[in-house]
Amino acid sequence: MKDIECAVKVLGAPEAQVVQTKEVSMEKPLLICGFPSAGVVGTIAANAIIEQFNMDEIAHVRSKYMPSAAVFIDGRLRHPFRIYASERNNLLVVTTELMVAEEGMYHVSSVLLDWAASLGVRETVVLDGIPVQGIPNDRKVLYAAEEEKIAELEDDAEMEIFHKGIISGISGSILSETLCRDMVGFALLTPAITMIPDPEGAVQLLQALNRLYNVGAEIEELQKSGEMIKQKMHEVAEHNEGQRRGEAVRRGYERMFA
């Protein structure tokens, strides 16, 4: 994409605004949203796409409902809530490292989708994690979607419908707002390790996107990272189990000679 600066365009109200700093010309791009969640799988997947396709940051979201904090990437200051674009891949990617306050989620999601619609977005997908304890045994991707999207997603035998549940946070707010617009929203979700980054979960989401939209995202590096984390977790679990057994034996001796 050509690095074309534009007069700064601001859309929204004082509560939340999209500030666009670069011009783009796209034909019904797919909007991909990846935010902090279980295993930060959405954020990992979103950043993998951004890096692989060398996407340009074209806009950012400002809101009084976001923490006053600075984000550094490779030592460079970045806006906390960023929007990237690739004209060649016809993709928009939205990501942030910060949480949006509950009372501001409507304002942020609404202005984001209003701006996206102005660029021709007709489909919005949220990538998210379902928190589980330990390493997930079943890594199948689940989906939740508006009615007109269900039939298309059902054709993918490697995914299953998420029958009942709640998607909260900014991801849920965005999906709720797509229902009020001429736009189809859906979520791709995968079980993810709760407390640490889970690249293997992000791999599952990227593979689903590749099948659905022929995105062409590479997953090899994330797979290697996932295997390393899995190995480390197994080592920690074995270490803890060894300590537990040792403690049980020691207590047995203490009772024997008490």
Q: How far apart are CA 128 and CA 130, in angstroms?
A: 7
What is the pLDDT averaged over residues 188-197?
A: 88
Residue 90 has what DSSP assignment? Answer: T
Q: Which residue has the tokens 């600075």?
A: 70
Strand blocks (E) in the chain:
5-13, 16-22, 30-34, 56-63, 71-73, 76-78, 81-86, 91-96, 123-132, 141-145, 159-161, 184-193
Higher pLDDT, 204 or 2: 204
Q: How far apart are CA 78 and CA 147, in angstroms?
A: 37
Give the model's pLDDT for residue 74.
80
User: Helix %, strand %, coil % for the chain, to 5?
Assistant: 40, 30, 30
The domain in which residue 33 lies consists of: 5-217
**Residue 120, in any domain of the structure:** yes
Confidence of residue 108 (pLDDT cuts 50, 70, 90): very high
Give the domain CATH number at 94. Answer: 3.40.50.10900
- Percentage above 70 pLDDT, the chain: 84
**Residue 140, in any domain of the structure:** yes
The answer to whether 184 and 145 have CB atoms below 8 angstroms apart is yes
**Residue 49, in any domain of the structure:** yes
**Residue 119, in any domain of the structure:** yes
* pLDDT above 70 for 224: yes
- Highest-confidence range of 11-15, 237-241, 243-247, by mean pLDDT? 11-15
Give the model's pLDDT for residue 77.
85
* pLDDT above 70 for 162: yes
What is the pLDDT averaged over residues 117-131?
A: 95
Higher pLDDT, 253 or 101: 101
* pLDDT above 90 for 248: no
> Could you tell me which of 172, 206, 201, 207 has the C-alpha nearest to residue 187?
172
Q: Which residue has the tokens 């994330």?
A: 222
The answer to whether 99 and 53 have CB atoms below 8 angstroms apart is no
**Residue 101, in any domain of the structure:** yes
As a whole number, the mean pLDDT across the chain is 85
**Residue 55, in any domain of the structure:** yes
Higher pLDDT, 196 or 54: 54
What is the pLDDT averaged over residues 35-43?
A: 90
Higher pLDDT, 38 or 4: 38
The answer to whether 158 and 166 have CB atoms below 8 angstroms apart is no
Give the model's pLDDT for residue 175.
95
DSSP-assigned letters across all residues of 111-176? HHHHHHHHTT--EEEEEEEEEESSS-S---EEEEE-HHHHHHHHT-TTEEE--S----HHHHHHHH
- Say what the pTM is: 0.84
The count of domains in the chain is 1
**Residue 231, in any domain of the structure:** no
Q: Which residue has the tokens 């500030």?
A: 19
**Residue 107, in any domain of the structure:** yes
